[in-house]
Chains A and B, each alone.
Chain A
């Protein structure tokens, strides 16, 4: 086949252009650390990378949601512990007050202490979270869930939190868990406290004795509520562990899909540079061969 000088020039130019282009591409990949910079570089990998990035954004939102919900439930758990401790002290005082040896002013002193303990418990159930909502308020926020008479005015709904792909977990406990709304054999915790206080104030030992079983049930009820809150916290912590593992695997998947392996990229660049040097040398030879024809 005839090869003209013009053809030799074209081959030299074309080889150099291609070699330079490959050096530029490899250099860009190595310096950016990204193999797939645009969809056309590798449409399948790009789609995977974009999908993973979207999941990472959602997972980050779940992290915040879990953190907020856990804080709220931990505060709820703390409030229930306060109420539980209060009930244990009230139990001691009630047993003391029910005793025949305790009468008159002694019972009145016990009633005064129980009133103070009642107020502390009432403050605990009307605690507000950082966002201004009442821990035990269900969804109402304009007034405290328990009024001065310790009557519950909130709802029975539990707030849910979006914590993972297709996963929604409870993020609150309504104040109804401390009332007869909690279940068939549930007690009105503050009602029991009020009855014991009233009996002591009236020096009525039998009245106090009559409330002791109810008081025990109230103590168990608060413990159960605390257990529920603790269980919800545990579930959220498990959700967070799962989320963290998911994030790790998402990072890995995204890196595999679109990131450049530095060693491979450096090797590719070195090869491209060698090819460019070879193209330069061959271009010199080709052009020299072409020039011979003009002599």
Chain B
């Protein structure tokens, strides 16, 4: 049988339970726009007790979450992050390799051939000679500038990688700190903070997080390398000089053990930057060097087979500004030819001074239709190919961004549907709990009134 006091207990228990509901709804409303917040719910279940007694038991609050969705989101973040950073870096690379108008190298090569045609038509014309030498010099300048700007693009990627590695280290430390804190206190706010950090970390490095039965999160990236393992976090370092071409290598360091992940990252913004720094941009630079070298070798061979107006011996047209093999970074026109265009070898050897023989100028112009040795294409076609490869990579990255964005967006919609706060819904919950709390208060007041009456009678 129930006693008055037992009834009071039921009433107070009910008020507390409804109060918990009001608190949870209130907390959700307060955090409706908080980044990373996952709504909290409570469950009410009947408290067992003697007939006509008992009460209500509050289960929770618990976060509405699912690890399955979290892992899908992290994978999507990694892919999207990689595509985004790759697209952005490739925009720089595309501008660098395309130059003015997007096809500066192609235009400069064609202009040089046109210059040789001009000299072949008027081998004694000073203006034609000067124009041809200027066109060759301009081509050399374009090679140098494109090479320099591609180098700057790679350096920018490298700097961003360094900055992102530092951020990744901080995020990993944050996760480890939360792991330590939740051992004693599984505060949902801490779990939200940890999930947000994991999401940002996946955007930077790719990889996914796993939460074990004890609530401890570990975060692994490419090939299973751990960045967070429970309360331990490892440092993500970009070490200058140890990567390809002297750029930074990306390593995960856990005190003694060092894991170089530079070539293994497949997701995340860092992977996107690496793909451009060590991939597309590096290849473009190498291709530019090969083209400059092959073109210079072929043109020089032909130029040296001819003679200038004031020369007794032949000379090269292109030389290296820094000595050694000719590359895009150091190609330049022989200073003597720049100073005096009469040194341009338009005539065949043996023509004698001041000859209007144009045989060699014709052969120089004819190189435009030849496939350059090793490269196997004409200079114009190879220039177009080099620029086109970067352009195609950018177009592919843009497409990946769109796909990634769609994927992230649809997962975000699912996440929002599951864990997001609907203010309308929470207001309804709030009203329900408040009404129930009012009813419980009425119940307590009724029981209290009964007790008062009993006490007066006694």
Contact = CB atoms under 8 A, between A and B. Distances in A.
B347 A139 contact: yes
A141 B117 contact: no
A3 B414 CA distance: 9
A184 interface: no
Nearest to A290: B423
A168 B366 CA distance: 10
Contacts of A14: 409
Contact of A46 (B391, B398, B418): B391
Nearest to A39: B391
Interface string B102-117: 1100110111011101
A10 interface: yes
A53 B109 CA distance: 11
Interface in B283-321: none
Interface string B351-395: 111111111001001101100000000001101110110111011
B121 A64 contact: yes
Contacts of A131: 122, 124-125, 356
A47 B384 contact: yes
Interface in B84-130: 90-91, 94-95, 98, 102-103, 106-107, 109-111, 113-115, 117-118, 120-122, 124-125
A161 B395 CA distance: 43
A247 B62 CA distance: 74
A162 B33 CA distance: 72
A293 B422 contact: yes
Contacts of A10: 412, 416
Interface in A41-99: 41-43, 46-47, 49-51, 53-55, 57-58, 60-62, 64-65, 68-69
A245 interface: no
Nearest to A42: B395
Contact of B352 (A64, A69, A140, A161): A140
Contact of A6 (B125, B366, B416): B416
Majority SS of interface residues in chain B?
Answer: helix
A160 B358 contact: yes
A51 B384 contact: yes
Interface string B325-361: 0000000000000000000000100011111111100
Contacts of B362: 160, 162, 168
B110 A159 contact: no
A54 B380 CA distance: 7
B30 to A, nearest CB: 13
B422 A37 contact: no
B102 A38 contact: yes
Interface residues of A, number: 53
A68 B118 CA distance: 10
B421 interface: yes
Contact of B94 (A7, A38, A53, A55): A38
Interface of B: 32-33, 90-91, 94-95, 98, 102-103, 106-107, 109-111, 113-115, 117-118, 120-122, 124-125, 347, 351-359, 362, 365-366, 368-369, 380-381, 383-385, 387-388, 390-392, 394-395, 398, 409, 412-413, 416-418, 420-425, 427
19 contacts: A2-B420, A3-B422, A38-B94, A38-B95, A38-B391, A40-B391, A46-B102, A47-B388, A50-B383, A50-B384, A51-B380, A53-B107, A54-B109, A55-B110, A57-B113, A64-B117, A141-B356, A162-B121, A168-B362
Given A6-B420, A40-B94, A161-B121, 6 more contacts: A1-B413, A4-B417, A38-B95, A38-B394, A46-B388, A133-B356
